[in-house]
Amino acid sequence: MNLTLKIWRQKGANDKGKMVDYKISDVSPDMSFLEMLDVLNSELITKGDEPVAFDHDCREGICGMCSLYINGEAHGPDRLVTTCQLHMRKFKDGETIYIEPWRAKAFPVIKDLVVDRSAFDRIQHAGGFVSVNTSGNTIDANAIPINKHDADTAFDAATCIGCGACVASCKNSSAMLFVSAKVSQFALLPQGQVEATDRVLNMVKQMDEEGFGNCTNTGACEVECPKGISLENIARMNREYLAASLKG
Amino acid sequence: MSGILNSSIGRKFAMALSALFLMFFLLQHFAINILSVFSPTAFNEASHFMGTFWAVQFILQPILIIGIVFHFTMGIILELKNRKARKVSYAKNNGAANSTWMSRNMIWSGLIIEAFLVVHMFNLWWHEMMVKYIDPQVLDPNRYYHELVEHFQSPVIVAIYVVAFVFLALHLLHGFNSAFQSIGANNKYTKALKGVSKVYSIGLPVGFIFIALFHHFAH
């Protein structure tokens, strides 16, 4: 496959940045999207040019590190996959592919396609955990009976890898799908009840302080989420938040 | 509790409550308007009741005006805040791949509906307030039907009416479900709401358009 790539290049956080065109030839349809970028970078390095910076780690679709807004969609045109699991056979020979970083005020660009997603870490620190006594008397979590439906739903929420595709896809750059997944995975389990009120209030407060937009329920996040996190989580977070506000 | 309206979820909730109230009002408005097609007498009686009953005039009417102004103002505030959350736009964004046109353009359909409301209120409501409270006149309790028929004789007014209600349908096609999602009512038990949403969002505006066209062509 021969392709034209339009890639966002930005030297650093304070650089204005621009889209730059690259031609790439002999791309195998069996390559992953990141492997295609690896080939491009090898060519750029050989020519003495600066390689394109992009985030990646496990390349198995589970770490949440890869990102990229490809042809106008987070993680590209395929569904329920991360960029590292997107294959070049999803594109046509001769196609022009736009590659951009996640765009959100709360996710500033560090370099090229790499953005700072530490806002998500700060939201997690605000309440995305359960406090467990680890002094030696820890009770095995499996010793607590949990309704099968609740356990499954909590697990579904817990599959969120925090990649930020929800923010990137949302026209408002809202982080509500991510935060709601983190709230839901504990809200549905008995271990999460003790800190439930503080958790949702603190996480939503942090989310708002980070500068994410308001959710207007377009549902784009759910469609583009590589883990299929459901909008039902946002409804659950709304219920949790309203109940916590009345209590708190 | 004090900070709830300063939070993103609190504002969503307030927006949804005002939307649900306005949707209920629309249903009530339609229920009275459709009477004009079947029985001028029933329409006059219902309109006279709404126009003279103190609780409607001095409690529900101010609440309705507050609801409209709140929904409109909050919608603009949220839109402006949301635009600030993305400083640099995408060079290529394929919004149609993951969301409906209606959901992405609520501000535009909302602004068109609001513009219609200004014209609508000026034409009908303001005139009613003038003759009832500001410059009181002796009023015929059976005037409502004739005023309605006269109103819809103008093709310009009917055209504006049709366009506005098409945009209302587009607004409701996203807004109805969105309001329930925002108040937290989205789970496996509420899937049926999507069917109700389509019936309401298309049926109600089509009903209003039918009333306008009926009176325009029938008289």
**Structural domain harbouring A37:** 3-111
Q: Shortest CB distance from A100 goes to which of B90, B184, B187?
A: B90
State whether the Cα torsion A226-A232-A233-A235 is positive or negative.
Answer: positive
**Which residues on B lie below 8 Å from A103 (Cβ)?**
86, 88-90
Does residue A61 lie in a domain region? yes
Q: A126 and A203 in contact (C-beta within 8 Å)?
A: yes
Secondary structure (DSSP) of B71-83: HHHHHHHHHHHHH
Query: Mind listing the pLDDT tens digit for each residue in A62-106?
Result: 999 999 999 999 999 999 999 999 999 999 999 999 999 999 999
Q: Are residues A55 and A83 in the same domain?
A: yes
Does residue B212 lie in a domain region? yes
**Structural domain harbouring B168:** 4-84+102-218
Q: Touching check for A207 and chain B: CB below 8 Å?
A: yes
Q: Are residues A61 and A150 in the same domain?
A: no
Q: Are residues A177 and A76 in the same domain?
A: no
Q: Are strands A96-100 and A3-9 parallel, antiparallel or unpaired?
A: parallel
**Which residues on A lie below 8 Å from B93 (Cβ)?**
69, 72
Alpha helices by DSSP H, chain B: 8-33, 35-38, 40-52, 54-55, 61-84, 101-104, 106-120, 126-129, 143-151, 155-182, 193-218
Using the beta-carbon criterion (under 8 Å), do B89 and A103 form an inter-chain contact? yes
pLDDT > 80? residue B1:
no
Does residue A106 lie in a domain region? yes
Report the domain count for chain B.
Answer: 1
Q: How far is B2 from chain A (nearest CA, A)?
A: 8
Residues 6 or more apart in contact with residue B66 via CB below 8 angstroms: none
Total-model pTM: 0.94
Does residue B50 lie in a domain region? yes
Q: Are residues A129 and A243 in the same domain?
A: yes
Does residue B208 lie in a domain region? yes
Q: Are residues A78 and A188 in the same domain?
A: no
Query: Mind listing the pLDDT tens digit for each residue in B91-129?
Result: 999 999 999 999 999 999 999 999 999 999 988 888 888
**Alpha carbons B92 and A4: distance in angstroms, whole number:** 15
Q: Touching check for A80 and chain B: CB below 8 Å?
A: no
Name the β-bridge partners of A32.
Answer: A87
- Tell me the CATH number at A38: 3.10.20.30
Enumerate residue ranges in chain A where pLDDT < 50.
none
Does residue A229 lie in a domain region? yes
Q: How far is A203 from chain B (nearest CA, A)?
A: 11
Reported ipTM: 0.95
- Tell me the CATH number at B148: 1.20.1300.10
Q: Are residues A91 and A200 in the same domain?
A: no
Which residue of chain B has the CA closest to A243? B1
Does residue B110 lie in a domain region? yes
Does residue B95 lie in a domain region? no
**Alpha carbons B203 and A202: distance in angstroms, whole number:** 42
